[in-house]
Structure 1
Amino acid sequence: MKARVIYLSIVLALLATTAPAQWDIQDSHTTASLRGIDNVGKGVAWASGTDGTVLRTEDGGYVWQLCAIPPGAEKLDFRGIQASDANTAIVMSSGKGDLSRLYKTTDGCQTWKLIFTNPDKDGFFDSIRTTAPKTIYVLGDPVAGKFAMYFTDDSGSNWFTAADPGRDASAADGAFAASNSALLPIGPFLFFGTSASTNAPPHIYFTQAKCVAPPDHPKAFPTQCSIEWKRSEVPLASGSSRSGIFSLDGYMSPTKSGIPKITIVAIGGTYDKPEQASNIVASSDDGGRTWSASTTPPHGFRSAVAYDADQKLWITVGPNGTDISTDDGRNWRALKPSSTDPPDADKNWNALSLPYVVGPNGRIGKLRTISVNNPVVRK
Structure 2
Amino acid sequence: MPLLQALVQPAGWQPQASGTSAELRGLSVVSAAVAWASGAKGTVLRTVDGVTWTQLPVPDADKLDFRDIHAVDADTAVIMSAGPGAASRIYRTSDGGASWKLQLTNPDAEGFWDAIAFWDAKNGILFGDPVKGVFQVLVTADGGATWRQVADPKGLAAQANEGAFAASGTCLTVAGSGDAWFSTGGAENARVFHSADRGRSWRAAPVPIPAGAAARGIFSVGFRDGRTGIAAGGDYKEAALATVNGARTEDGGATWTAAPILPEGYMSVVVPVRGALDSFVAAGLAGSGYSTDGGKSWTVLDRTPMNTVGFATPAVGWAVGPKGLVMKYAGPILGKK
Q: Is the 8 A contact 1:277 1:298 kept in 2?
A: no
Give yes or no for the alignment of 1:365 onto 2:331: no
**How far 1:371 sits from its partner (Å)?**
6.3
The aligned residue for residue 103 of structure 1 is 91
Deviations 1:198-246 (A, max 9, x none): xx2200101146xxxxxxxxxxxxxxx9942111100002221211110
Unaligned runs of 5+ in 1: 1-17, 210-224, 253-260, 337-345, 374-379
What is the DSSP-based 3-state SS (H/G/I as helix, E as strand, rest coil) of the residue aligned with 2:96? Answer: coil
Give yes or no for the alignment of 1:353 onto 2:310: yes
Q: Is the 8 A contact 2:185 2:212 kept in 1?
A: no
The aligned residue for residue 376 of structure 1 is none
Q: 2:296 aligns with which of 309, 326, 330?
A: 330
Q: Is the 8 A contact 2:139 2:199 kept in 1?
A: no
Structure 1 residues 241-320: aligned runs within 5 Å: 241-252=214-225, 262-294=227-259, 297-312=262-277, 313-320=279-286
Unaligned runs of 5+ in 2: 1-7, 312-316
Taking structure 2 as the reference length, what is the TM-score of the superposition?
A: 0.90
Shift in CA distance, 372/91, structure 1 to aligned 2, threshold 3 Å: closer
- Higher mean C-alpha deviation, range 363-372 or range 79-88: 363-372
Shift in CA distance, 97/66, structure 1 to aligned 2, threshold 3 Å: same
Letter matched to residue 330 of structure 1: K
Give yes or no for the alignment of 1:25 onto 2:15: yes
Q: Is the 8 A contact 2:261 2:289 kept in 1?
A: no
What is the DSSP-based 3-state SS (H/G/I as helix, E as strand, rest coil) of the residue aligned with 1:41? Answer: coil
**Count of residue pairs brought into register by the alignment:** 320
Give yes or no for the alignment of 1:171 onto 2:160: yes
- Within 2, Cα distance between the matches of 1:44 and 1:226? 29
Between structure 1 and structure 2, the one with the greater Rg is 1
- Within 2, Cα distance between the matches of 1:347 and 1:281? 19
The aligned residue for residue 194 of structure 2 is 206
The aligned residue for residue 228 of structure 1 is 201
Q: 1:36 aligns with which of 7, 19, 26?
A: 26
Letter matched to residue 327 of structure 1: D
- Within 2, Cα distance between the matches of 1:300 and 1:171? 25
% identical aligned pairs: 39
Taking structure 1 as the reference length, what is the TM-score of the superposition?
A: 0.80
Deviations 1:141-183 (A, max 9, x none): 0001110011211122221111235111111110110000001
Q: 1:73 aligns with which of 61, 85, 110?
A: 61
What is the DSSP-based 3-state SS (H/G/I as helix, E as strand, rest coil) of the residue aligned with 1:132? Answer: coil
Shift in CA distance, 295/361, structure 1 to aligned 2, threshold 3 Å: closer
What is the DSSP-based 3-state SS (H/G/I as helix, E as strand, rest coil) of the residue aligned with 2:194? Answer: strand
Letter matched to residue 331 of structure 2: T
- Within 1, Cα distance between the matches of 2:229 and 2:27? 20
What is the DSSP-based 3-state SS (H/G/I as helix, E as strand, rest coil) of the residue aligned with 1:20? Answer: coil
**How far 1:295 sits from its partner (Å)?**
5.5
**How far 1:310 sits from its partner (Å)?**
2.9
Q: 2:37 aligns with which of 47, 66, 75?
A: 47
**How far 1:370 sits from its partner (Å)?**
3.6
What is the DSSP-based 3-state SS (H/G/I as helix, E as strand, rest coil) of the residue aligned with 1:361? Answer: helix
Letter matched to residue 249 of structure 2: S
